[in-house]
Amino acid sequence: MLSTLRKLPTQFRHSLRARVALWVALPLFLTLAGASLFHNWRERQLMEEQFHVTAVQVGQVITGSLRHTMLAENRSMLNSALQDVGSMAGISRIEIMDLSGRVRADSANTAIGEARLPTDPGCVECHRFPPASRPKSVVLTSAGGMLRVASAIANEPACGQCHASSTSHLGMLLVDIPTASINLRLAQDLQITMLLSAVMTLLVTIGVYLLVDFSVVRRVAAIRRPLAQYAGGDFSSRLPATGVAADEFDDLALAFNRMADELERHTKEQNERAAVRQRAIMEERERIARELHDGLAQLLGYVNTKAMAARLLLKNKQSEAAEKHLLQVEEAAREMFVDVREAIAGLRMNGRADADLATMINDYALQFTRLSDLPVNVTIAPEAQGTPIAAEAELQMLRIVQEALANVRKHAAASEARIDMHREGRMLVLAIADNGHGFDPAHIHSNRRPRFGLATMRERADAVGAEFQLDSNPGGGTCVTVRLSLQEN
């Protein structure tokens, strides 16, 4: 089978239809051919057995028919009877031999007087057996397709006038019956059976080929293009399916389509997340650049004024007053340095596309503590860890945390801050609190910076549909709470 497949052209060796059809056709043909050969052999055996029985009966009938003629010792009548019987269809030759093997009568009148020896062709087939087990009919080896029937001529009491009664037989009647027609018929039957086997094999092969083509190959070809698109990162195509699991291909198609839906949704979310973060990074950079410009301009003006004042005070020998101005310059520079480092840390957080909100809050809190020396304790509830939220909402929540911690450092005079994130049903709750001196929310207009930061945080919460809540009172610290409604999966 494998060697046969290797001899096929390349296009057939790589064709599933041809290979399956061939794997079905060859065993089927061999099975049908083997069954045909066995049937023909068995039919030949049965026919030969039946033919032998019939031939023996024919020999006995002929012997009985010639009995009256032989008893009458009328040779001309005997020869005429032999010729009449020998000319019958299905009989080739009739001979009568005596006990010495000499031919006494012949339907063809060509062998009268000839002596037949046990070793002659036509005799050796019977004489190779012991006398007690010699068959009454045998197929001759010297003549193609010839069956010889040997019927003993009994020595009856009526024969005692001419023959001695000491022998039980007077001779043998030999009848040659051709078997070529039977062999031809069997050969024709075998040819017809083999032809039917070939035709049946061809029909089954065509059926299997078409079945594999329609049921497997075409369906596989139909899913080749979507799978190639999947491999290229395009998840918009879908495998053809009936919508129900009719068979294994439908199961496969439905599973692939569900996977493609998830991959497409995930890719879309990732792209949206990356686009939102990139846009937010640009916006934040512009905003921070404006703030740093304003802050640096004010700082430079402030430093210039303080430096001039310190120089004049030093010129007038007022070193203590000059040192006070220099300390103010140093404090302003230190505060601006922290602002710049926080801005850089915030930009780095915004640029991390591989982290979720909880991870970025933890990372930012660590950096904020390191830069400002203000401890920030972060508590993320297990059910809130890894909660999937929209990219824009995630970014705005992070920016609210950054803004709230910046306000704590600049205005709260707190010794520590706390960040808590947990779930309340379909709500994600984020709270940033401190233990600073607090303030009265109703009287925040006197200080522009806290008001500006609170307004920014409120706007960020409103942009993503979240609830913004501010709780503070003088001496009681401040807590900013944001409640974000989560989307249904």
pTM of the model: 0.42
- How far is Cα 97 from Cα 476, in angstroms, rounded to an integer? 146
Q: Which of 399, 280, 375, 295 is nearest to 339 (CA)?
A: 295
Strand partners, 133: none
pLDDT of amino acid 271: 80
Helices then strands, counting H and E runs in the chain, come out as 12, 10
Q: Which two tokens stand for residue 371?
A: 């830069």
Q: In what helix (H) or strand (E) does residue 169 lie, and over which residues does it extend? A: strand 169-178
Residue 203 has pLDDT above 50, yes or no: yes
- Percent pLDDT > 90 in the chain is 10
How high is the mean pLDDT of the chain?
75
Contact 429, 488 (CB under 8 A): no
Contact 363, 398 (CB under 8 A): no
Domains of the chain: 2-185 (3.30.450.20), 356-489 (3.30.565.10)
Max distance between CA atoms of the chain, in angstroms, equals: 188
pLDDT tens string 251-288: 777 777 788 788 878 888 778 777 776 776 676 676 66
pLDDT tens string 383-412: 988 888 887 888 889 889 988 998 898 888
Taking CA atoms, 85 is separated from 98, 218, 390, in Å, by: 20, 71, 111
Mean pLDDT value across residues 31-46? 78
Residue 206 has pLDDT above 70, yes or no: yes
Strand partners, 419: 378, 432
pLDDT of amino acid 270: 78
pLDDT of amino acid 8: 47
Q: Which of 306, 374, 373, 295 is nearest to 340 (CA)?
A: 295
- How far is Cα 392 from Cα 398, in angstroms, rounded to an integer? 10
Block residue for tokens 């039917």: 196
Dump strand ranges (E) for 58-92. Answer: none
